């Protein structure tokens, strides 16, 4: 058996000769013809590459600048909230924000990272996000550049890494949320013990 027959070249050529040679779906270029020789099932097996917008849009200098904004005027947070669709009716959520008196740097952040939203809180502007996947991706990129918030970033990544398979996993995430809250001056003053609240709600 010839290599041409194994690759299906002869069969494909024959099929192209059937009917009107000017049909619209006939391959017009060499690349299109070569691609037509390969069965669709082959392309379906090739995993799609996910585009990383943070890596694409931010240079190392810009990552360092953003890390500085988060170190000085930002916060990496976590809390528990009710969620009726979850197995244990609760979930642990991550959030990130930067608060400034000027709006322009926050607009730059939103444009560069391509997620989150801007809002005005009293006399300040805030860039915020609760998108779990995007936050995890961004924090992992910023980690080498963070100084003040490096510990908080590591805790947040630990929270994101834990997959909830049982109630103990949920408690682990809640305890890490408690630990993260201790590093945020506002959080530790006004928030309750997440793990304790979770146990009380579930066991009551």
How many other C-beta atoms lie within 10 A of the C-beta of residue 144?
A: 11
d(CA 5, CA 204): 71
Q: Are residues 116 and 98 in the same domain?
A: yes
Give the pair of three-digit tokens for residue 199.
Answer: 């146990």
pLDDT over 80 (residue 122): yes
Whole-number pLDDT of residue 82? 81
CATH code where residue 127 lies: 3.10.28.10
Q: Are residues 162 and 65 in the same domain?
A: yes
Q: Are residues 25 and 120 in the same domain?
A: no
Do strands 124-129 and 117-121 pair parallel, antiparallel, or not at all (unpaired)?
antiparallel
| Number of domains comprising the chain | 2
pLDDT tens digit sequence for 148-183: 999 999 999 999 999 999 989 999 999 999 999 988
Segments forming the whole domain that contains residue 167: 53-203
Mean pLDDT estimate for the chain? 80
How many other C-beta atoms lie within 10 A of the C-beta of residue 82?
A: 9
Residue 183: DSSP 8-state = T
Q: Are residues 95 and 119 in the same domain?
A: yes
**Confidence band of 8 (pLDDT split at 50, 70, 90):** very low
């Amino acid at each position: 058996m010839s290599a041409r027959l194994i690759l299906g070249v002869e069969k494909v050529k024959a099929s192209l000769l059937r009917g009107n040679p000017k049909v619209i779906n006939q391959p017009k270029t060499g690349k299109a013809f070569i691609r037509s020789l390969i069965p669709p099932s082959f392309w379906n097996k090739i995993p799609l590459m996910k585009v990383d917008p943070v890596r694409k849009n931010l240079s190392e200098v810009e990552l360092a600048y953003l890390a500085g904004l988060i170190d000085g005027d930002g916060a990496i947070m976590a809390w528990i909230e009710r969620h009726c669709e979850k197995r244990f009716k609760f979930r642990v959520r991550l959030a990130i924000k930067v608060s400034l008196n000027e709006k322009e740097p926050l607009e730059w952040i939103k444009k560069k990272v391509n997620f989150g939203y801007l809002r005005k809180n009293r006399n300040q502007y805030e860039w915020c996000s609760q998108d779990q996947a995007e936050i995890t991706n961004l924090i992992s990129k910023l980690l080498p550049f963070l100084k003040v918030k490096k510990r908080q970033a590591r805790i947040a990544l630990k929270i994101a890494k834990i997959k909830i398979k049982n109630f103990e996993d949920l408690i682990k995430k809640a305890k890490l949320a408690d630990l993260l809250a201790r590093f945020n001056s506002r959080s530790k003053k006004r928030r309750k013990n997440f793990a304790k609240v979770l146990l009380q709600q579930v066991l009551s």
